[in-house]
Amino acid sequence: MVTYIIRRLIWAAVMLTIVSIITFAIFFLVPRLAGATPESLAARYVGRTANAEQVQIAAEKLGFNDPLVVQYGRFAKGIVAGADYDYGPGVEHCPAPCFGYSFLTRLPVWPDLLDRLPVTMSLAFGAAIIWVLAGVATGVVSALKRGSFFDRAAMTIALGGVSLPIFFTGIVSMVVFSYGNPFSITAPGGSYTPLLDDPVAWAYSLVLPWVTLAFLYAAGYARLTRAGMLETMNEDYIRTARAKGLAERTVVLKHGLRGALTPLVTIFGLDVGLLLGGAVLTESTYSLPGMGKYAIDAITNQDLPKVMGVVLFAAFFVVVANLIVDLLYAVVDPRVRLA
Amino acid sequence: MTFLELKDLRIHFPSDDGLVKSVDGLSFRLERGKTLGIVGESGSGKSVTSLGILGLHKGGRAKISGEIWLDGEELVSASAEHVRTLRGKKMAMIFQDPLSAMHPFYTVGAQIMEAYRIHHDVSKKVARKHAIEMLDRVGIPQPDRRVDSYPHEFSGGMRQRAMIAMALSCDPELLIADEPTTALDVTVQAQILDLMRDLQRDFNAALIVITHDLGVVAELSDDILVMYAGKAIEYGTAEDIFERPEHPYTWGLLGSMPRLDRERTERLLPIKGSPPSLINVPPGCAFHPRCTFADRTGGRSTSEVPELLESEGGHLVRCHLSRDVRRTAWENEIKPNLEAS
Ligand SMILES: Nc1ncnc2c1ncn2[C@@H]1O[C@H](COP(=O)(O)OP(=O)(O)OP(=O)(O)O)[C@@H](O)[C@H]1O
Ligand code: SF4
Ligand SMILES: [Mg+2]
């Protein structure tokens, strides 16, 4: 067990390294392929007022002329140990984990990311709770009442949920439910309020995004749960559970649903991990200042350090989620041996 | 009062192709402390019958008629909820493949404890102690440790012992074992059969053993019921069935019975043809397409459904051949052949 965890941890570290190399390669190579020079990159650090010579010096000092490997080494070291940026007029220390400075605001990227994280976490975890409860419950009932009106209606809606894009459902729900109309479930203002400032306002500001996002995922979970339940409810062990004299509710939940849980846990871990890197569409639709919105803004402004930071941050969550899922797998299914 | 009595039990399943008559007019009696063996080929309705007795077809698509009397109570007309409270406690079942019949995600102990706690309002601790006792009782070594193992950590034989422990945990008065040894290898089969015989004596339960292996019923049974296409075609004491069987189908089964002095795979007198469709059961005697004696009944085998009639002393046979013809055929044509082979 312990060796297994250590092996998985090492694997996670390797994965992150690979992701960082790829990210670095893409974001440093692509602009060059598109015609950017070390000088034009350095110009972003020293500002538009600097003359050609200053830019030249900055490019040299920032190491834009070094071989790619050396540049990557510096980049990786910055994340692990922090970095000192010497751009000519002065030296700026950027503490670890250093993802560099924004081209636009000249502020370090990392604190920005930390700032955005609670928003995305609030969105992701809140939505996750809703979609798991709604999706699994719908799936179970659909499977038990297979072919009924409920089943058909639920599966039709689920098909819609899986296929409709979030900017559509998001806008529809905003039109129907947002403040000022009869079905309103949101508060005035509607902008994001941190949980610790005012929990009620926090919940109000997130209700619509939660529901919209949860709808998208719940649909998939309902279908997955239904398929899993249809399979497990035919298993011999269900017949055994009934033969013991268990009440049907216990048979379904304790034996049937438990048997169908493994794929759900896996998908759930990965989905949440992925969402923590930013629910791009939901956050932009509802103007939530989370990671996804941050990424979109960074891309629109071609703010490379920000984009890289957000990509690596997202990759980190995906890798960690994978790690947790692998470990959970053995908890959920005791037949899986961790070796 | 008879402990268990089935009267004209019918269990039919509607399907797209028509009504599947899985059990079609089955009657028998069983007393406490006695063992009934039910034999028949695959699809003859053995499992459907046992699940029917436990009330597990209730609420499903099955159309059920007839009567099942258990200790003075009629179960076909009883509510599903009432029958549920009898399951596990008054009557319990051992299934064929203990690997798939036990939940892979719960420990063996948890599953036995669950069975016990449904019917006994006791703490987990008490139930656990009981589970360990039961595991010990069915011959599982180190039961206090094995109680925390998962089914996949047991060998096939140990799993079946655990399954038996689970079924016996509430001290049921009726125990149904559906192919309890089919999934096991030969030496383990013998151990499990020994165990079941011992336990039945200790618990004084009525036992129904379902199998397509006559060797298994020969080991355990007082009485034997031979089923074909959802009907009883011969019923008698073990002696009746093995010493003076009277139905051509039973003769066929005896001929295909593996014997110790023969290779198991070598089936000398297999019954030709395959089991009939349960939707369009052949007219007359359902066995007639496969029966080598059908031409000796003056055409009645193909036109008239034979009744289950008493031959002698409770020995029942469903065949148009007269008793004398059956006995002569057995003595002169079948028995010498079986012995020679
Ligand atoms: N729920 C059901 N719906 C429709 N048909 C069924 C159902 N359960 C059983 N049957 C049919 O009833 C027939 C008898 O099945 P049963 O399981 O009782 O056979 P069996 O004698 O136990 O055979 P085996 O030796 O293979 O276990 C089979 O043809 C089967 O297809
Ligand atoms: S009734 Fe006819 S077909 Fe049926 S078993 Fe007897 S002889 Fe054979
Ligand atoms: Mg069966």
- Which residues of A fall within a CB distance of 8 Å from B54? 243
Max CA pair span of chain B: 69
Query: In this structure, what are the phi and psi dihedrals at residue B227, rounded to the nearest 5 degrees?
Result: -110, 145
> b or e along A174-188 (b: 16 or more beta carbons within 10 Å of the residue's beta carbon)?
beebbeeeeeeebbe
Encoded amino acid at B140, one letter: I
Coil vs helix vs strand at B280? coil
Neighbours of B156 (CB within 10 A): 16
The whole-angstrom distance between residue B147's C-alpha and the CA centroid of its chain comes to: 29
Place of tokens 């080494």: A73
- Which residues of A fall within a CB distance of 8 Å from B92? 243-244
The pLDDT assigned to B233 comes to 96
Q: Who lines ligand 1 at CB under 6 A? A: B 13, 15, 20, 22, 40, 42-48, 212, 278
Residue nearest ligand 1's atom 16 by CA: B45
Q: Which residue of B has its CA nearest to A240?
A: B101
Helices (H), B120-245: 124-137, 143-146, 156-168, 186-203, 214-220, 238-243
Place of tokens 């289950």: B308
Cβ atoms of residues A205 and A191 within 8 Å: yes
pLDDT of A296 > 70? The answer is: yes
The pLDDT assigned to B265 comes to 46
Burial class (CB in 10 A: 0-12, 13-18, 19+), A112: buried
* B319 CB within 6 A, ligand 2: yes
A258 contacts B103? CB cut-off 8 A = yes
Helix (H) or strand (E) holding B24: strand B18-30
Q: What is the pLDDT of residues A93-133, one digit of tens each?
A: 888 788 888 877 878 889 888 988 999 999 999 999 999 99
- B102 → closest Cβ in A237, A258, A335: A237
Q: Give the Cα separation of B93 and B178 in Å (integer).
A: 7
Contacts of B283 (CB under 8 A, 6+ apart): B302, B303, B305
- Going by the DSSP 8-state scheme, the letter that residue B106 receives in this structure is S
Confirm or reject contact between B101 and chain A (CB < 8 A).
Answer: yes
| A47 or B50, which is more confident | B50
Q: Which residue of B has its CA nearest to A144?
A: B60
Q: What is the pLDDT of residues A134-164, one digit of tens each?
A: 999 999 999 999 888 999 999 988 888 777 7
Confidence of residue A192 (pLDDT cuts 50, 70, 90): confident
Residue A97, preceding peptide bond in cis (omega within 30° of 0): yes
Q: Please give the share of chain A, as a percent, with pLDDT higher than 70.
A: 92
Sign of the CA dihedral running A226, A227, A228, A234: positive
Q: What is the pLDDT of residues B123-144, one digit of tens each?
A: 999 999 999 999 999 999 999 9
Confirm or reject contact between A259 and chain B (CB < 8 A).
Answer: yes
Residue nearest ligand 2's atom 3 by CA: B288
B104 contacts A259? CB cut-off 8 A = yes
